[in-house]
Amino acid sequence: MTTAATKAGSRTAKAKPATMAQALGRALRDSMAEDPTVHVLGEDVGTLGGVFRITDGLAKEFGDDRCTDTPLAEAGILGAAVGMAMYGLRPVVEMQFDAFAYPAFEQLMSHVAKMRNRTGGAMPLPITVRVPYGGGIGGVEHHSDSSEAYYMATPGLHVVTPATVDDAYGLLRASIASDDPVVFLEPKRLYWSKADWSPEAPAAVEPIGRAVVRRTGRSATLITYGPSLPVCMEAAEAAVAEGWDLEVVDLRSLVPFDDETVAASVRRTGRAVVVHESPGFGGPGGEIAARITERCFHHLEAPVLRVAGFDIPYPPPMLERHHLPGVDRVLDAVARLQWEADS
């Protein structure tokens, strides 16, 4: 699946616009068709096809035993998935919304993340936990949290988040195939983002743990992931008018973290801004800024800056546009990168 030929195949004449939601559904379907041990379970994933319709058609194609509507209980769903994985299945769990996953935290922290370690490698848990996350869709409270920092702070979990249609497919396939548990964060406001995509020859399966440079530039690096990637790409385009040539790095995987790609980019540009919508304090940006400082101190022309959501509980939908970091805030940060010192 990872060959160049497959990758090239995804750009045939048959390519047509597809959404990230469709690519995720297709990844689930292909994984289930290839591997009979892959089971999907969660609230409303069966008959309804999930509240975002990601699992649409799976129960019909594979039966209720492979795509199961569970009782409404996140700890129970993930706990049952642990037992299923212990018996050799590959459960894919859907947590309906970011903040609904919190009741399952004990299972995730105490068991999912630790079982391989607890058992000296004897019992890996190949579980994928799909969590739709982030704001910008006008959801009322508990429907828009960015919870990635909690998962990142828990050794034993992989934390992955796609920002493109291709990556949604490729990373989800890789997550399901992984022998380790993966928290697969789905940027729900990108569910309906489109790309030319051929369902007949989907994009290559993307190995977990590699960041990618989405836009090359010389002036500064924007480091981001998931829902903030389109914001950063737009900011980079707008920055051209200001005379800045920005590089944009899409992390794709928060754990493992691709220090190499990030450090190489910052050493080239000498300046970095980390952009994400989860709260800044104790958030991913602080960790990323520290890693960059440790590795690139002598290459830096300015302190690493963070553009993040405010340190507040996610606001009501009518105020969320003030909370979410947009293009202007990213450009403001770029403007603060001590350009005068450089000239």
Spatial separation of the C-alpha atoms in residues 146 and 278, rounded to whole Å:
5
Site for another protein in 153-192 (CB under 8 A): 155-156, 158, 178-180
Among 32, 45, 54, 89, binds another protein (CB under 8 A): 89
Q: Which of 26, 29, 116, 130 binds another protein (CB under 8 A)?
A: 116
Q: In this chain, which of 31, 55, 96, 107 binds another protein, going by CB under 8 A?
A: 107
Q: Annotate the chain with three-state secondary structure.
A: CCCHHHHHHCCCCCCEEEEHHHHHHHHHHHHHHHCCCEEEEECCCCCCCCCCCCCCCHHHHHCCCCEEECCCCHHHHHHHHHHHHHCCCEEEEECCCHHHHHHHHHHHHHHHCCHHHHCCCCCCCCCEEEEEECCCCCCCCCCCCCCHHHHHCCCCCEEECCCCHHHHHHHHHHHHHCCCCEEEEEEHHHCCCEEEECCCCCCCCCCCCCCEEEECCCCEEEEECHHHHHHHHHHHHHHHHHCCCEEEEECCEEECCCHHHHHHHHHHHCCEEEEEEEECCCCHHHHHHHHHHHHHHHHCCCCCEEEEECCCCCCCHHHHHHHCCCHHHHHHHHHCCCHHHHC
Applying CB under 8 A, among 44, 234, 259, 332 the residue interacting with another protein is 259
Task: Kindly state whether residue 286 participates in binding another protein, applying the rule CB under 8 A.
Answer: no
Distance CA 159, CA 146 (A): 13
Which range, of 116-124, 184-192, 296-304, 330-338, touches another protein by CB under 8 A?
116-124
Q: Is 73 in the site for another protein (CB under 8 A)?
A: yes
Cβ proximity to another protein, 115 vs 248, nearer residue: 115
- The answer to whether residue 294 forms part of the interface with another protein (CB under 8 A) is no
Q: What angle do CA 198, 42, 252 make, to 5 degrees?
A: 45
Residues ≥6 apart with Cβ < 8 Å to 264: none
Is 128 a binder of another protein (CB under 8 A)? no
The smaller minimum CB distance to another protein, of residues 121 and 243, is found at 121
Task: Return the C-alpha torsion angle 324, 326, 331, 333, nearest 10.
Answer: 10
Of 9-17, 81-89, 136-144, 266-274, the segment contacting another protein by CB under 8 A is 81-89
Q: How far is the CB of 59 from another protein (least distance, A)?
A: 14
Among 81, 223, 266, 337, binds another protein (CB under 8 A): 81
Least distance from C-beta 269 to another protein, angstroms?
Answer: 22
* 193 forms part of the interface with another protein (CB under 8 A): no
Closer Cβ to another protein, 9 or 103, answer by number: 103
Position 323 contacts another protein (CB under 8 A): no
**2 near another protein, judged by CB under 8 A:** no
Q: What is d(CA 267, CA 221) in angstroms, rounded to the nearest whole number?
A: 9
Q: Which is nearer to another protein, 65 or 340 (CB)?
A: 65
Site residues for another protein, 38-57, by CB under 8 A, read 39
- Applying CB under 8 A, does 119 fall inside the site for another protein? yes
Q: Is 71 in the site for another protein (CB under 8 A)?
A: yes
Site string for another protein, 203-242 (x = CB under 8 A): ------x---------------------------------
Total residues at interface with another protein (CB under 8 A): 48
> Which residues lie near another protein (CB under 8 A)?
39, 65, 70-71, 73, 75-76, 78-89, 91, 103, 106-107, 110-111, 114-124, 155-156, 158, 178-180, 209, 255-257, 259-260
